Amino acid sequence: MRGVVRSWAFLRQPFWLFSHVFVGTMIVFCLWAMVWQIDRHGERRDLNATVAARLDETPLDNVGLLAALAAADDPGELEFVPVALDGEYLEGELVRVVNRSASGLPVEWVVVRLQLEDGPGVVVNTGYLAADEEAPLAPVGTVTVRGWLRTDEEKSLFGVNDDGASFRMPRLSVGAVESRTTDGVALAPGVWVQRADAAGAVSGPTAVPLPPPDGGPHRSYAVQWAIFGALTAVFYAAILRRRARDDGRDETISDA
């Protein structure tokens, strides 16, 4: 019995050369996405460790915050440090950070400025409201805002550019808030406060919770990308083998 005859000459045809490049690119992308998700999982693990370590720290007051800002080489060193700051909310239109979600629903963060007693202004994320819900006015007089320090959000690879044309912005950063004000109040650079509770905050918005202490979906996403890449390679190899077998059969028949 004659064995299966395969002809691989088709591999050098322009269509198949393009196909090799396309499939190879897809496999490389799947591998890159897998590694990226593994890195994200590691970042989430480090984040959980940071949050857990700082939950029991004594909150910084106004003086402690200024000392910490002066001592920190990078604002990132202060991520999730608890604070309890005394000051007065500054007047002016509230800034909204758009394209956020809570419980699967679209929401917006409501951002205000807190003028510290004997210190600079501090950006405060008071919490979230529905996109079409109007935020109430900030309370008047001295308040105490409790929460955690967070750092400026950076633009992602596919993030929307902030044109600064309105009081709605795509991500929260001190510079973006400062550029939207005209009263010249200096703001503590690089960090803002994520409100922890309703005490001394704008009434209405729901406080943004801390990240849940789990690994998130990144590990399962990494496995999925690995499977996608492997299946792409297996299916493409099967397609090539079948085409080579069919071409080999045709050549055998024509020779006969």
- Which uninterrupted H or E stretch holds 225? helix 218-255
Domain membership of residue 63 (yes or no) is no
Residues 190 and 227 in one domain: no
Burial degree of 256 (CB within 10 A; 0-12, 13-18, 19+): exposed
Q: How many domains does the chain have?
A: 2
Q: What share of the chain is helix, strand, coil (3-state, %, to 5)?
A: 40, 25, 35
Residues 114 and 32 in one domain: no
Of 165, 195, 225, the residue at which a domain comes to its end is 195
In this predicted structure, what is the pLDDT of residue 166? 78
Residues 119 and 152 in one domain: yes
In this predicted structure, what is the pLDDT of residue 150? 92
Residues 87 and 158 in one domain: yes
In this predicted structure, what is the pLDDT of residue 220? 93
Q: Are 146 and 200 in contact (CB under 8 A)?
A: yes
Q: What is the pLDDT of residues 215-238, one digit of tens each?
A: 788 999 999 999 999 999 999 999
In this predicted structure, what is the pLDDT of residue 22? 96
Domain membership of residue 245 (yes or no) is yes
Domain membership of residue 99 (yes or no) is yes
Displacement of CA 151 from its chain's centroid (Å): 12
Domain that holds residue 14: 9-40+217-255
Q: What is the pLDDT of residues 89-114, one digit of tens each?
A: 887 767 888 888 888 888 999 999 99
CA-closest candidate to residue 142, choices 166, 118, 164: 118
Residues 190 and 124 in one domain: yes
Domain membership of residue 20 (yes or no) is yes
Residues 157 and 221 in one domain: no
Residues 184 and 226 in one domain: no
Half-sphere exposure of 118 (CA within 13 A, CB side): 6
Residues 124 and 85 in one domain: yes
* CA dist list (Å): 66 to 41, 122, 187: 33, 11, 12
DSSP 8-state class, residue 10: G
The 3 state secondary structure assigned to 165-207 is: CCCEECCCCHHHHHCCCCCCCCEEEEEEEEECCCCCCCCCCEC
In this predicted structure, what is the pLDDT of residue 1? 41
**Rounded Cα gap, residues 87 and 144, in angstroms:** 7
**Rounded Cα gap, residues 162 and 160, in angstroms:** 6
Residues 186 and 237 in one domain: no
Q: What is the pLDDT of residues 4-27, one digit of tens each?
A: 677 888 888 999 999 999 999 999
DSSP 8-state class, residue 160: P
- Walking along the chain (256 residues) 10 residues at a time, the average pLDDT comes out as 70 92 96 94 86 87 91 87 92 81 88 88 91 74 89 76 77 88 85 78 75 84 96 95 81 58
In this predicted structure, what is the pLDDT of residue 131? 80
